Amino acid sequence: MKTTGGSDAAKRRAGERAAEDVEDGFVVGLGTGSTTAHAIEAIGRAVDDGLDVRGIATSFQSRRLALEAGIPLTELDAVADVDLAIDGADRVLEGGDARGTLIKGGGAAHTREKLVGESADRFVVVADPSKLTDRLEASVPVAVLPEAHTVVAERVDELDGEATLREAECKDGPVVTDTGNLVLDCDFGPIEDPATLATRLSALPGVVEHGLFVDVADATYVGTADGVEVRRY
Ligand SMILES: O=C[C@H](O)[C@H](O)[C@H](O)COP(=O)(O)O
């Protein structure tokens, strides 16, 4: 699993709190990453105790964790509704009108994560305090068609950003996502207007999905040293 900063105990508290929101009969979007992994494990324990749920994996990783945890899986195109999606984030914006705006995709899973999160009746973010920020300054992961990476990088430059093709750590060449795309990590400096940037990135030819999530989250559960703080939007 990709390692990220933050306390694992705090991630566990957030993940386990989100798992408590899963009700009998729910279809649940299972996000990706080290924080959501705790939610998946907790849902698996509830399934062992008789909870009837079906999960929708957002990545190979979450599919594998769900199978290990004994969570029955389905697919997005096989269900009428997704009741709840639980997912982590690399940055969670706090304050102002843009509360709950996220940057995701540190694990290159944001394409399916956004699809499942946007499809859900409720989208709960699980995070440790290291993810919270009152100013978005992190790079935005942008998944692109492989043949489009140079064209998109030029367009990102025209948007005053700097795109870097994400390189794999354990293979020669770039990261290839679960959906067969490459990832450009795009540095725009401080992002003052996430909604406008999100719209501009979505409009670029060759872009499959970007990791700016604007107005998607309904709540963030922040694991702390001794509990969970809940932000609702
Ligand atoms: O692509 C990966 C996802 O967007 C993750 O949800 C995000 O990177 C957070 O992961 P973690 O909980 O491991 O920090």
| ipTM surpassing 0.95 | yes
With a cut of 50, which residues of the chain have pLDDT below it? none
Q: Given this model, what pLDDT does residue 99 score?
A: 75
Residue 105, sorted as left (phi over 0), alpha (psi -120 to 50) or beta, turns out to be: left
What's residue 4's pLDDT? Answer: 65
Domain ranges of the chain: 8-134+214-232, 140-210
Give the number of other Cβ atoms within 10 Å of residue 1's Cβ.
10
The residue assigned the tokens 């709960």 is 124
Decide: pTM greater than 0.90.
yes
- Residue 2 confidence (pLDDT): 58
Please identify which of the residues 41, 113, 154, 169 carries the catalytic annotation. Answer: 113
From atom 6 of ligand 1, which residue's Cα is the shortest distance away? 88
pLDDT digits (tens, 9 = 90+) for 102-131: 999 999 999 999 999 999 999 999 999 999
Could you tell me if 107 and 215 are in contact, meaning their C-beta atoms sit under 8 angstroms apart?
A: no
Nearest by Cα to 36 from 117, 148, 97, 136: 117
Q: Which CATH number fits domain 140-210: 1.25.40.10, 3.30.70.141, 3.30.70.260, 3.40.640.10?
A: 3.30.70.260
Atom of ligand 1 nearest to the CA of 1: 13
**Which atom of ligand 1 lies closest to the CA of 126?**
12
Residue pair 19/53 in contact (Cβ under 8 Å)? The answer is no
Considering the segment(s) 8-134+214-232 as one domain, its CATH architecture is 3-Layer(aba) Sandwich (3.40)
